[in-house]
Structure 1
Amino acid sequence: MNDAPGLSAPSSGPGSAVPASPRAHRDDLAADTARELALAEVRWSYDGECPPRPRRLAARRAPGGVAVPIRG
């Protein structure tokens, strides 16, 4: 990887302060805090340059090729 001194990647093994994944402690959070974390992730993932993609409706194909929306 990188052989330059002082530029090694942080360790995520046992005894290190770096968690294995950014969401490793999600189970320890209260419900309100977990909801706020999820909302923050959505806000940060949206770049604001284009409108969000519309959600596709769930549908199944009926005999004859007609698409029938599924209510859920």
Structure 2
Amino acid sequence: MQRILITEHIRTRADFFNALGRTRGCEDCGPRNLDDLADFLREQHTTVIVASHMELAEEDLQGVATVLKDQGVKLVR
């Protein structure tokens, strides 16, 4: 079980993906699309993502939320 804490301002799906990559200690190893997001979550054994300053547009959030739900990951905003 792993929890991920993101404290930076998230305005786009790319911001979210890049922030996840930075939790691994690098700038360019985060997911690049929703399929990559699912793989990332499985590989990291992620169960909860806390994003304290997330302002994604509804259409971007829907895709992310669907992947999170499918992977059993809770998003706390």
Band the TM-score falls in, shorter-chain normalisation: under 0.3
Q: Which has the higher strand share?
A: 2
TM-score, structure 1 as length reference: 0.28
TM-score, structure 2 as length reference: 0.26
